[in-house]
Amino acid sequence: MTWMNRQNLTVLTEFILMGITDRPELQAPFFGLFLIIYTVSVVGNLGMIILTKVDSRLQTPMYFFLRHLAFIDLGYSSAVAPKMLANFVADQNTIPYNWCATQLAFFILFIISELFILSAMAYDRYVAICNPLLYTVVMSQRVCWVLVAIPYGYSAFLSLITTIKIFMSSFCGHNVIRHFYCDSLPLLTLLCSSTRDIELIILIFSAFNLISSLLIVLVSYILILMAILRMNSAEGRHKAFSTCGSHLTVVVVLYATLFFMYVQPKSSHSFDTDKIASAFYTLIIPMLNPMIYSLRNKEVKGALHRIWKNLHILPM
Query: What one-character-per-residue DSSP string does 218-280 give?
Result: HHHHHHHHHHHHT---HHHHHHHHHHHHHHHHHHHHHHHHHHHHHSS-GGG--HHHHHHHHHI
pLDDT tens-digit readout, 46-55? 988 988 888 7
3-state secondary structure of 171: strand
Confidence of residue 7 (pLDDT cuts 50, 70, 90): very low
Cα–Cα dist 258/68, whole Å = 20
Using the 8-state DSSP alphabet, how is residue 56 labeled? G
pLDDT one-digit tens code per residue, 288-299: 888 888 766 677
pLDDT, tens digit, for every residue of 225-260? 888 888 877 777 777 777 788 888 888 888 888 777
Of 62, 102, 59, nearest to 80 by C-alpha is: 102
**CA–CA separation, 253 vs 161, rounded Å?**
28
Range list of H helices, the chain = 2-9, 27-54, 61-89, 97-130, 135-138, 141-167, 184-188, 196-229, 234-262, 271-279, 285-295, 298-313
Q: pLDDT of 155-173, one tens digit each?
A: 999 999 999 999 988 888 7
Q: What is the pTM of this model?
A: 0.87
CA distance 160 to 225: 38
Q: Which pLDDT band holds residue 123 (cuts at 50, 70, 90)?
A: very high
Q: Is the pLDDT of residue 1 over 50?
A: no
Look at phi and psi of residue 190 and say left if phi exceeds 0, alpha if psi is from -120 to 50, else beta: alpha
Average pLDDT, the chain: 84
Core vs surface per residue 78-87: b (16+ CB within 10 A) or e? bbbbebbbeb
Q: Beta partners for 230? A: none
83-116: pLDDT as tens digits: 999 888 887 788 999 999 999 999 999 999 999 9
pLDDT at 106: 96
186: helix, strand or coil: helix
Say how far apart CA 242 and CA 121 lie, in whole Å.
14
Q: Residue 8's pLDDT is what?
A: 45
Other Cβ atoms closer than 10 A to 159: 20
Cα separation of 74 and 107, whole Å?
A: 11
With CA atoms as reference, report the closest residue to 93 among 26, 175, 37, 36: 175
